[in-house]
Amino acid sequence: MIKINIHLYAFSVIVLLFLIGLFYQARVTHLLWNNLGNVCFIKSLVVDEQNAKENSAKLELLNCAVSFFLQARSDIPSVHNLRSLALAYLDLKQYRESQNMIQEAIHIAPTHSLFFDAGRIYEAAGNRQAAIWAWQKSNAVEYFLDRGNREIYFEDRLYNYELAIQIAPNSPRPYYTLGDFLYYNSSEREKAIELYQAAVVLDQSQLSQRYFALGKIAQYHADWSLAVHNYQQAIKVGGGSANLYMELGDALSQVDANFEMIQHTYEKAFAVEPLNPWPYWKMRNLYINTNQYDALLIWYQIAIAKLEKEKPEASISMLLTLVKMHTELGDCEISTYLYKRAREFDEVSSKLAMPTIEKCGE
């Protein structure tokens, strides 16, 4: 009886060792196939798709990657392997296969990054509803806000900001961001105010952004005293942006604040963003509306000297922008002064302003 038990034990050990060997062999071959697939896939990413010959090579590399990834999957399916397969299929525009692989990966490990990739795949496949669902799961709102900030065209930025709201409908930040975008870049002020109102309902903090939005809501309804209060609170609790200081200056001008207070507020906007043309516009209107044209020229002399000292690499571009702005407004004395400063700073680049300044008889 004892001998039988010993034999059974020995047999069990041998079987166990054999299975362990098979497991490790499978692991080794899995890693080998997966690494070979990664080599093909990474090489495909640096191919120039505009070149027909290289684009053909890209397709070959992607098919090579898929072949190796599938071999690895047949040994041991893993999250990394399935994700790689999904992305390779995506580049091949084989959307059904791509969706199947990412869903299989999510079934193993439902992580934020996998849901984010799933959203990309669903969007490419034209299934926007599924994409939004996946991005909600991934909590990718910051990604789309950042992507919107980096886009150039209005419609592309709008798309990303609206997408951020759909992904995080209970977060105030996307509403603030889209509200600001529409408020400052379109004529849709009413929609912007609605977005601000939605944001402040969701946001129960006492942070600067909330006060800023409340200020703009009050300003929209011509409640200038309340607007001033909220803008001042926004500065008190969180410091000021150029837009915040300019809005405060505008609101102060409506409650008959003195010239020095309004001027100081616009000066703050200029100090925060000396390369933003709007503070110059605000200062110009303030001086012109109070019949202080000569004082405006003196302010410009000080402001431009400061700009050239602190932002020399961007000064010529800003000067040319201001030349155009003042020429179009008919401020020929200021426009001529700025053009001369531009010529002193960079004679070659200043020639770009010649067609503009000629309107002033230079």
Instruction: Give the pLDDT score at 1.
Output: 47
**Other residues' Cβ atoms within 10 Å of the Cβ of residue 99:** 20
Instruction: Give the pLDDT score at 52.
Output: 57
pLDDT single digits (tens) 122-165: 999 999 899 989 999 888 899 999 999 999 999 999 999 999 99
**Other residues' Cβ atoms within 10 Å of the Cβ of residue 105:** 25
Nearest to 218 by CA among 177, 180, 251: 251
Instruction: Give the pLDDT score at 20.
Output: 43
**pLDDT > 50? residue 10:** no
Q: For 220-237, what is the mean pLDDT?
A: 95
**Other residues' Cβ atoms within 10 Å of the Cβ of residue 166:** 17
pLDDT single digits (tens) 269-285: 999 999 999 999 999 99
pLDDT single digits (tens) 71-114: 877 777 788 888 988 998 898 899 999 999 999 999 999 999 99
Query: How far is 290 from 287, CA to CA, in rounded Å?
Result: 5
Q: How far is residue 61 from each of residues 4, 45, 321, measured CA to CA in Å?
A: 57, 9, 48
Instruction: Give the pLDDT score at 23.
Output: 41
Q: What three-state secondary structure class fits 75?
A: helix
Q: How far is residue 10 from each of residues 3, 21, 103, 169, 258, measured CA to CA in Å?
A: 11, 16, 43, 63, 98
Return the CATH architecture of domain 1-110. Alpha Horseshoe (1.25)
Q: Place 11 in a pLDDT band, splitting at 50, 70 and 90.
A: very low
Q: Place 51 in a pLDDT band, splitting at 50, 70 and 90.
A: low
> By the 8 A CB rule, do 321 and 338 touch?
no
**Other residues' Cβ atoms within 10 Å of the Cβ of residue 104:** 17
pLDDT single digits (tens) 105-125: 999 999 999 999 999 999 999
Mean pLDDT of all residues belonging to the chain: 85
Tokens representing 36 are 């070979």
| Residue, of 36 and 319, whose pLDDT is higher | 319
* Maximum Cα interatomic distance, the chain, rounded to a whole number of Å: 117
Which of 131-145, 184-198, 305-319 is the most confident on average? Answer: 184-198
